[in-house]
Amino acid sequence: MEKILVSRTDGIGDLLLTTPLFNELKMKFPKARISALVSSYASPLLVNNPFVDDIIIYDAGQKDTAGMLKERGFDAVLAVYPRPALAWDFFRAAIPLRYGTSSRWYSFLYNKRVKLSRKSSENHESDYNLMLANELIGEARGQKEYYFISDDERAAADAILRSKGLNGGFIAVHPGSKGSAWNLSEAKYTQLTEALAAAGKKVLLTGGKQEKDMIRRMALKIARDSVHVLNEELGLREFAAVLGRADVLVSGSTGPMHIAAALGVKTASFFPPDSIPATAPRRWGPLGNIHEIIQPEGPGEKEELMETIDTAAVLDKIIRLAGN
């Protein structure tokens, strides 16, 4: 096996939970060229990853993917994130071994069909990714997520933090989730951040472009010198380097949670109750770091249930995490 392609073209957390697969493949086939077919948005996560030799960008609607893949002469492809258009591209590229799940209408395009269903969410996402490759790597379980920061990125992050008077010992609070996860309300996050500041903790509020207004509003309402806002427009790797300096990240089940886990940063993460398995921590929890999972008791409506989470109890969990 000389050239192996792993296809995972969705989001940040999804790709980071695929990094254990890259690790296992490189250990099993150390001389093989391991390539990753990933979205342009998430692709920076694999920069500097020693288990990935080649990063290939794929975005929906891209032209002549099959031709490009055929030219590269892959021996095998693992369709970790199955999509019919990509299954067709792998078939047209005549990749000899095409691994994919067996239960989809287009599964006939794979010639290595694996009986694997994520619907029940009985396993962690990282384990589902590894199961697809059992024939190649044997049985394996996800132990941690992998992300590799450069010295220059660390230095740039330290400069940003120094400009805010943060030289270490801070808690990052990332209140946004772009609606993709169960999460606290802005008001609840504001209450929690104010409680952290009152307890003597330095806090850095972080958010993507769409969340900048939210974190500025939060900071204005709290109005404490120990609460800072990451106003800078940073790239994904720059943001990750800043996050890597935090003692704890407080967030919902989002990409930043997985970045923090991959960097060994402790996390306090809000999840739905286990009665909603498709988005529960058993499937999507952080991997390999010290963490606290905070869930409401169900059943019930999302907004109502998340409002029942006790701020004082969460504050205690975060402070204990920060002190460990």
Q: Give me the pLDDT at residue 277, please.
A: 87
pLDDT at site 323? 86
pLDDT (tens digit, 9 = 90+) per residue, 195-239? 999 999 999 999 988 899 999 999 999 999 999 999 999 999 999
* CA–CA gap between residue 128 and residue 282 (Å, rounded): 12
Equal CATH topology for 3-137 and 151-323: yes
231 burial level (CB within 10 Å; 0-12, 13-18, 19+): middle
258 vs 14, 71, 126, 236, 310, CA distance in Å?
A: 9, 34, 12, 13, 24
The Cα 286–Cα 289 span in angstroms is: 7
**pLDDT band for position 300 (50/70/90)?**
confident
Strand 266-270 relative to strand 112-114: parallel, antiparallel, unpaired?
Answer: unpaired
Cis status, amide bond into 44, omega within 30 of 0: no
Residues whose CB is less than 8 angstroms from the CB of residue 320 and which lie 6 or more positions away in sequence, other chains included: none
Place of tokens 């940040």: 12
Query: For the domain 151-323, what is the CATH code?
Result: 3.40.50.2000
What is the reported pTM?
Answer: 0.95
What is the percentage of the chain residues whose pLDDT exceeds 70? 99
Residue type, 222: I
| pLDDT exceeds 90 at position 178 | no
User: Tell me, which fold does domain 3-137 have in CATH?
Assistant: Rossmann fold (3.40.50)
Q: Please name the residue ranges forming H helices in the chain.
A: 12-16, 19-28, 65-72, 84-92, 125-131, 134-137, 151-163, 186-198, 212-222, 236-243, 255-262, 281-284, 302-307, 311-323
Domain boundaries, the chain: 3-137, 151-323
